[in-house]
A and B are shown apart, each in its own frame.
Chain A
Amino acid sequence: MAKIFVLAEHRQGQIRDITFELLTKARELAEKTNAELCAVILGKNVQEHAKALAEYAKIVMAVEDPKLENFNSEAYKRILSKLIAENKPSLVILGHTSYGVELAPRLAAALNTPLATDCIDLTFEGDTLAVTRQMYGGKVNAKAVLRKADTYMVTVRQATFTPKKPEPPANGQITTIPSPLTEEIVEKRFLQYVLPPPGGVDITTAEKLVGIGRGIKDQANMPLMEDLAKTLGAVLACSRPIVDKGWLPNDRQVGSSGKTVKPKLYLALGISGAFQHVLGMKSSDLIIAVNKDPKAPIFSFADYGVVEDLFKIVPSLKNKINETKAQKT
C-alpha cells in the first residue's frame, strides 16, 4: 500500500503545532487515495512524541540518535533520503516553516522529487498532484500541477489546516529505526539557540495594539504613530518591515517570526496583511485596518476596514479619541 509521509517537527522537547495540522490534512489525502498515513520523527528520546503521533497516524517511524537532538537539515536530508528511497511514499509533506524551508528544497533536489512549497491546498487528480499556492504577497492564488512522478514533496503553510484528532485515535504502530548516521555532520553544526534580548514592552499582554507597517513610509512619521498609540492607551506593535528598518525593536514585531498577539483591539495602519503577519494577529477580538489599497489582504481578516491614506485618518482619530476622553471625565 502506498504511504504518505508527514515529517514531525519538534524543538526543545516540544512537538510543534504544524505537525498536527499536516497530519490532519494528510489523513484526508490518505483516505482518498487509499494510502497509509505515516508520521516520521527524527530526534533524541522521541518515544513520547511518537506516542502522540500514533494517535494521528497508522505508522510512526522514529529515528533515534543523540546526533539528532537539534534540527540539522544535512542530517535530516541523509536520513530522509534513505527512508524515502526504501518506502517510496506517494507524497512527503513538510511544514513551510524555518525547518521545512531549509530542508525540503535540498531534499527534493537530492532525490529529484518534484516539489511545491508554501502550499495552502493540495489534492491528487488521478496520480498527479495539484496544489494551490499564493504569489505576490498573497494578492494572487496559483493553481499548479507537479511533474508526474512516483513521489511528490510539498511544504504546507502554517495554520492553514485545523488539527483534528481522528475518532477513535489511529492507534498507530511505532517502529524505531536505527539511525543510519555513522558519523558527525562536519559541514553543518548546530551551536545554540539565540534568544532575543529582553525588551521593555510585552506586546502579548497589551489590551490594545496599534500595529504599523510599510505604509507609514518614513521614520519621521513614527512620533505621530507613538502619539496615537499613547492617546488610545495602546502599545505600538509592527509588521516586519518596521523592524528591518530599525524603527522599532524586535520584540514589537507581530507575526510568524515575531510574537503572536490576541489583544481586544488591533488597529492595523498601513499593513498589507502578508500571511506571516496575519498568523500573529488574526485572533485579536476586534481588528480595524486602514490601508490605501482596497485589495490589501488585511481586509479579509479585519472586522472594519478604511480605504484611505492613513495620514488623513490618524490626526482626526487622535482628536476624536481625546474629545471622547474629555467628555467622560
Chain B
Amino acid sequence: MDIIVCVKHVPETAEAELKIDISGKTIDKAGLVFDINEWDDYALEEAVRIKEKLGGTVTAITIGPQESESTLRKCLARGADKAIRLTDPKFEGSDAYATAKILYSVIKTLHYDLILLGAQAGDTGNAATGPILAEMLNIPHAAMVKKIELGSGTAKVNRELEGGFEEQLEIRLPALFAVSTGINEPRYVSIMGIRKAMQKEIKVLSLADTGLAETDVGIAGSWLNIERLYVPPVEKQAEFLKGTPDEIATKLVEIIKSKGLI
C-alpha cells in the first residue's frame, strides 16, 4: 500500500495572543510556535499504521518555506519513508484551490493507493483542499473520516455526521480521505526515529518543477483573495470577575447559589 500524506506547517494559535500584521492581510507570526497541523498529525499516524500492517511506503508532502522542513522531519521520524517539499515565493497567498493544484502537479506523477490528509487546517480552516485534490486526480474521496478499514481494492470508512453519529461508506481505491482528529492516537517520536530522520533526504521542488504557470498559483491562481483581517467584534462580553483565586471562587459560588443551583 503506497500512501501519500499531505501535511501543513502551521502556527499554534489556540493559546497564543494573535496580532494582525501591518499589511492587514495576515497575522504577525513572530513569536508563534509552528508545528504539524493537528488534523494532519492524525492523517500521518493513520498512514504509518496502515504501512506497518500492510507494508508499502509513506510519502509526506508539504508546501512551505525552509522552516516547514521540521514538520517533514517529524513525519520521517514517525515512520514516513520519503518527503517532498514544494516551495516558491510565487506560492504565497494560495487558497485551497491553488494549494490543491500545486499538490496535484506532483502527486499525479507518483504511484499511490491512498492519499490521506487532515480534514482541515488550524490556520485557514477551509476544509476544502482534500476534496478539490480528489476531483483533480479523478479518484473517490471521503471527508471527516473517523475510521478506515481497508479491504481488497476498497475501503470501508466511517464519516462523522452531526449529533454524534456516523455514516459508513464503501469506497473504491485509490482514494483520498480527509481525516478527523481522534481517528487514532498519534505516537510520540523516538530519539532513534529523530536521528534516522535527520539523515533522510527531503526532495525540494519549485514552481518550475511543477509545470504550473505563475498564474496558476498564489493569489492569481486562487478563488479566494483575503482583503483584510480583523479582530471579531464582540457581540456579548462576559462580566469578568477579578481578585485572588479565593475571592473569585467566593463570587462564583454566590452567583451559582443565587440561581438556586447549590
Contact = CB atoms under 8 A, between A and B. Distances in A.
B249 A147 contact: no
A164 interface: no
Contacts of B175: 187
Given A74-B140, A187-B171, A194-B167, A106 B135 contact: yes
Contact of B144 (A98, A196, A300, A325): A98
B182 A109 contact: no
A300 B237 contact: yes
B249 A194 contact: no
B245 A115 contact: no
B170 interface: yes
Interface stretch (A19-27, A59-67, A306-314): A306-314
B252 A317 contact: yes
A144 B164 contact: no
A135 B125 contact: yes
Contacts of B262: 232-233, 321, 324-325, 328
Interface in B211-262: 222-232, 234-241, 245-246, 248-250, 252-253, 255-257, 259, 261-262
Given A109-B135, A139-B18, A144 B224 contact: yes
A192 B166 CA distance: 9
B164 A253 contact: yes
Contacts, number: 278
Interface of A: 11, 16, 70-74, 96-98, 101-106, 108-110, 114-118, 130-131, 133-147, 158, 186-196, 207-208, 214-215, 232-233, 240-241, 243-246, 250-251, 253, 256-260, 264-265, 272, 285-289, 292-293, 295, 297, 299-308, 312-313, 316-317, 319-321, 324-325, 328
Given A16-B162, A114-B223, A136-B27, 17 more contacts: A98-B143, A101-B119, A102-B141, A135-B125, A137-B125, A140-B18, A191-B168, A193-B167, A193-B168, A245-B185, A257-B164, A259-B163, A265-B259, A293-B15, A300-B235, A300-B237, A304-B238
B54 interface: no
